[in-house]
Structures are given as structure tokens and as C-alpha cells.
A and B are shown apart, each in its own frame.
Chain A
Amino acid sequence: MRVKELGKDRRAETITLFIGPQHPGSGHLRLVVELDGDVVVGIRPDIGWVHRGVEKIAETKKFVQVIPLIERPSIIDSANMNVGYVRAVEKLLGVEVPDRARYIRTILCELNRIASHLYGIGIFGNMIGTSTIFMWSFGDREIIVELMQELTGARLTYSFFLPGGVKGDLPDGFEEKLEKGLRYIENRIPEYNALFIENPVTEDRLKGVGVIDREKAVQIGLTGPNLRASGVEYDARMVGEYGAYKDLGFKPVTRPEGDSFARLMVRFDEIDGSIGLIRKAIREMPQGPIMHERTKGMARQVLMKVPEGEAFSRVECGRGELTFFVVSKGGDKPHRVRMVTPSFRNLIGFETALVGHRLADVPTVYGSLDYFPPEADR
């Protein structure tokens, strides 16, 4: 955006304020805010500061090499990015994932969701000046990160799901460590409630702020916790196209209010939901192979040629629905990889939620949308 042209036509009584792009919160984003006094009369998000051309780079890599690439836009939620892409490739290959691998995928995806929500809640706390919550949730997230490292060998970017299954089975003694970690998070939730949620300052700053009603949320195509906080019962996990969600009897969390507080609470309640799903998955997990015969072994993965065709997949990430549209011309590299991330779809929420509010509410709404610029820009 050309800086000198911004605000050219502005009325004398309004001023244009730039927030960012020097990392105002969760990454590099600029909000161009039009103010009348301290009331927001217009807002325009200016994005692309961390655009890396993931879709173009994907066309130059082999199918399996695309996995680490598509994880990068959202490293704090990489397992959910990973599963979206491999589901599309599996559809092209015509392979179904063995049952045990579906359960292992569900466990890692839900752990990653908890970590992503704790990250989002921490940033949110920081944005509204509650830096204790930032310290708490980043500290508690570490428990989950350690568990994921135990399972996959990496802290953040796991590349653990390959077309046809998962890289490894649960390590020895993992279930006990997992249960200990989950119990810890569960016991922390009342403390978060006492310090942050039931805090009158939090309620005053969040309730009734940035309301997006049900019809509007659907119309602008919000996704994830932001959509469910407006009372819409939709979660890509409900559709049951991946993981073990259908077997586990998944139910989405919703709230009717549509304000910043509801968006925060949906995230909190989903942490609880994820803990339940992980425990159930551990209990009901079948024995058996973790990789499809046709894609087993590094050589088959690296030399993989994918039949000509197109596949569309949708999965639910921490921030909402992620879709992939992968086109193959029959070679070892994709012809086209289209990746629409949840933050990119939630971008439109800024305009809807902020106009009419005060400047001091901008960080509140930003934090409540859990908008992550690297994920939106790709």
C-alpha cells in the first residue's frame, strides 16, 4: 500500500492511524484505522508482510517435500496443517489410513489444538494488558509441546503424518506421561478462571465488544472458534472426513453471544473438549499397522508418483477450517496446491467487529479473533 496516498480523501474531522506492521501482536500485520475522535469509523487490514509464496514453492517440490513447507505458515499448529495436506494426497492416491494411524493422528492434532489455543489465549492476554496470562499459558503450553516432542521428536514442526499413515507409534511409557500432562492442564483451568475469566476487568473489556451476530458470521464466512462463538454449530471435525472423530462422537462447542468474551470462552472450552477426545482415543485405540502398505518406507514416499487428478480436503485447525485443493498431473510434484488457511478467512472479521468501537478496543478484537498473520499470508 502506498503510504502517501492513504488518507488522501479523508474528511478533515477524521484521522488515519496505522497500527503495525511492526509486529503489533501475533505477527506482522498493519491495520489502517480511520478514527473520528477515538471511535473507529473504518478499518482496512493490510496484509502480506510475511507472504512467502507457499503455493508457488509447492509446485517445485516433490509431494512429500511439500509437508514441511505447508506446516510453516502456522508452526504452532503444524500437525493440523499437516493432516489437511496428506488427506488430499491420500484421496489422489486412493489409499485409506489404517485405523490405529487415524487415532494417533487425532491425538497429535488435539494436543496441537490445545497448544494453539493456549498460545492464542496468551497473546490475547498480553494484548489486553494481562501479562500474567501470557506467562501462564506459554508456560503451560510447554507441557503439551514436551508431550508432542516425546511423540514426534520435534517441538513444533513435526511432519509426522505422511500419505498413508503416521511416522511412528506411541513411544513406551507415553500414555502415562500424556495423562499426567492432561491432568496438569485440567487442574490449571480453575486457576485461569479465578485470575482471568471471572475477573471483572476481563469481563468489562471483552463482553459486548466486537459483536458479530450469527447471520453476519455466516455471511462473511468466519471460521473456527470465531464462528462457533457466534452460535453456528459447524466444525470440520463434525463432517468426519479424517481422524477418529466420527468414532469418538465429537460435539462442537458453541456460544450464542458473538462477542470477544464468547470467542475466548469457546477456546477455553475446546481445551477441555480436546482433553476428553485424547483420553477417549487412548482408551479406544485399536492395535494394528500405522502405515498403508502402498506408501510404507522412505523410498516409496520419496519416489511417490501421484495419479492424475484433483482432491479437496478440509480439516479443523486450532483457528478454524483449513482447506487444500491439490492437483496432480501424474508426476512426482504437484501441479497446483491451493491452501486457504483459517486466519485468511477470519481476516474479514476485523471490519465487521471493529467499526463503531473505540480505539482501545482494537487490541481486544484483534486478540479475540486469534488472527495469526504468517498463517493468513502463507
Chain B
Amino acid sequence: MERVLRIASDTLKSVAKELAAEGFDHVKSLTGMDRPEEGLIELVYHISSYLNPALRGRIVEVRTEVDRSRPIINSISDVFPSCRYMELETRDLLGVKFEGNEEPDPLILPEELKNTWPLRKDYKIPEEGVE
């Protein structure tokens, strides 16, 4: 990755706006990574451009962290609508709240798994069978 931006979580939206002004037009991937030993959840955005031929081959990696016990961050789906569903998925699987992109119901998990976060490292995969 030729360009990695490590930023504070409260500057995410302004960074997104700056990237959009530079010609980056869509989010390819949003990854949430649980880091329980540091009490953090790291969010990694991979942002690139469809329209600008000079930027097409490039991907900017934007990395930020939120507190694991209070994982709240601004949604950037108003700047990049392409990451709206990725944010909802990350909310379901890691419990990160994206302010400004709130749907009452889980996107991808069943109702009974609401408020359990399977992609957190301390999630125990339930086993079926004899106790």
C-alpha cells in the first residue's frame, strides 16, 4: 500500500472529504479488526477512484481506532455512499456504532444474535452436541 493514513477517529470525516476532493470516489473495503489486548477496534478503509485514470491503480488505506468499550465513530456514508452497507456489516459483526448510519435492525445477522459480535476475538463459537 503506497499511501497509508493513520488518523484520529474524530478526524475521519474531514479526511474522507479531503480524499473525495482529491478525486477518490469510492470505498472498496472496510475492515474492522479487534485488538482486545490494547482495548481497541481498528478500522481500515481502502479507498480508490473509478473515474480518475491516474488514481485508478492506487488505493489509499485510511486507518483509525476506536475504544473497544465505547466503539463509536462518524459514518462517512454521506461522503462515500459506497460504504454504507459495509458500515452496517461492521456494526453487526464487531459492534461499532457508525453515527449517521443507523438502522434499527441487523443487516446480516439474525435477530437473536443482535448485540453479540462474532468477529471480536473473545467471541466463543458455540458448539452443538453433548455438553
Q: In the complex, which of the residues B81, B93, B105 contacts A220, with contact meaning CB atoms closer than 8 Å?
A: B81
What CA separation (Å) do A239 and B109 show in the bound complex? 34
What CA separation (Å) do A106 and B30 show in the bound complex? 28
Q: In the complex, which of the residues B33, B56, B59, B109 contacts A312, with contact meaning CB atoms closer than 8 Å?
A: B59
Known interface pairs A47-B107, A48-B109. Does A56 touch B119 (Cβ–Cβ under 8 Å)? Answer: yes
Q: Which of A95-103, A266-274, A344-352 contacts B (4 or more CB under 8 A)?
A: A344-352
Q: Does B111 contact A (CB under 8 A)?
A: yes
Find out whether the CB atom of B51 lies under 8 angstroms from the CB atom of A348. Answer: no
Find out whether the CB atom of A327 lies under 8 angstroms from the CB atom of B106. Answer: no
Nearest residue, chain B, Cβ from A220: B81
Find out whether the CB atom of A325 lies under 8 angstroms from the CB atom of B108. Answer: no
Task: Quote the shortest CB–CB distance from A218 to chain B (angstroms).
Answer: 5
Find out whether the CB atom of B44 lies under 8 angstroms from the CB atom of A325. Answer: yes
Give the size range of B's interface with the partner.
35 or more
Binary per-residue interface labels of chain B (39-72) against chain A in the complex, 1 for a CB within 8 Å, 0 otherwise: 0000010100011000011010100000000000
What CA separation (Å) do A82 and B125 show in the bound complex? 25
| Total A residues in contact with B, Cβ cutoff 8 Å | 33
Find out whether the CB atom of A218 lies under 8 angstroms from the CB atom of B107. Answer: no
Task: Quote the shortest CB–CB distance from A99 to chain B (angstroms).
Answer: 21
Q: In the complex, which of the residues B26, B59, B123 contacts A221, with contact meaning CB atoms closer than 8 Å?
A: B26
What CA separation (Å) do A109 and B44 show in the bound complex? 29
What CA separation (Å) do A239 and B110 show in the bound complex? 38
Q: Does A219 contact B (CB under 8 A)?
A: yes
What CA separation (Å) do A221 and B48 show in the bound complex? 10
Known interface pairs A219-B81, A221-B26. Does A234 touch B93 (Cβ–Cβ under 8 Å)? Answer: no
Q: Does A2 contact B (CB under 8 A)?
A: yes
Q: In the complex, which of the residues A2, A220, A234 contacts B82, with contact meaning CB atoms closer than 8 Å?
A: A220
Nearest residue, chain B, Cβ from A56: B118
Known interface pairs A218-B26, A219-B25, A336-B33. Does A312 touch B50 (Cβ–Cβ under 8 Å)? Answer: no
Q: Does B28 contact A (CB under 8 A)?
A: yes
- Give the residues in chain A near B25, CB-CB below 8 Å: 218-219
Nearest residue, chain A, Cβ from B32: A338
What CA separation (Å) do A181 and B50 show in the bound complex? 35
What CA separation (Å) do A196 and B1 show in the bound complex? 45
Find out whether the CB atom of A348 lies under 8 angstroms from the CB atom of B108. Answer: no
Known interface pairs A51-B109, A219-B25, A221-B82. Does A232 touch B50 (Cβ–Cβ under 8 Å)? Answer: yes
- Give the residues in chain A near B110, CB-CB below 8 Å: 48
Find out whether the CB atom of B125 lies under 8 angstroms from the CB atom of A227. Answer: no
Find out whether the CB atom of A323 lies under 8 angstroms from the CB atom of B46. Answer: yes
What CA separation (Å) do A5 and B26 show in the bound complex? 33
Known interface pairs A218-B51, A239-B56, A312-B1. Does A48 touch B82 (Cβ–Cβ under 8 Å)? Answer: no
- From 326 to 342 in chain A, residues with beta carbon under 8 angstroms from any chain B beta carbon are 327, 336, 338, 340
Find out whether the CB atom of B50 lies under 8 angstroms from the CB atom of A377. Answer: no
Most buried by A among B27, B44, B111: B44
Task: Quote the shortest CB–CB distance from B61 to chain A (angstroms).
Answer: 7
Find out whether the CB atom of A238 lies under 8 angstroms from the CB atom of B56. Answer: yes
- Give the residues in chain B near A321, CB-CB below 8 Å: 28
Q: In the complex, which of the residues A60, A336, A345, A377 contacts B31, with contact meaning CB atoms closer than 8 Å?
A: A336
A sample of 12 cross-chain residue pairs with beta-carbon separation below 8 angstroms, ordered by A number, consists of: A1-B111, A47-B108, A55-B119, A56-B93, A56-B118, A219-B25, A219-B26, A232-B50, A312-B29, A314-B28, A323-B29, A340-B30
B residues near A (Cβ < 8 Å) are 1, 25-31, 33, 44, 46, 50-51, 56-57, 59, 61, 80-86, 89, 93, 104-111, 118-119, 123, 125
With contacts A55-B119, A336-B33 known, what are 5 further pairs, Cβ within 8 A?
A56-B93, A232-B51, A325-B29, A340-B86, A345-B82
CB-based closest 9 A-B pairs: A221-B82, A48-B108, A221-B26, A338-B31, A340-B29, A323-B29, A1-B105, A234-B50, A218-B50
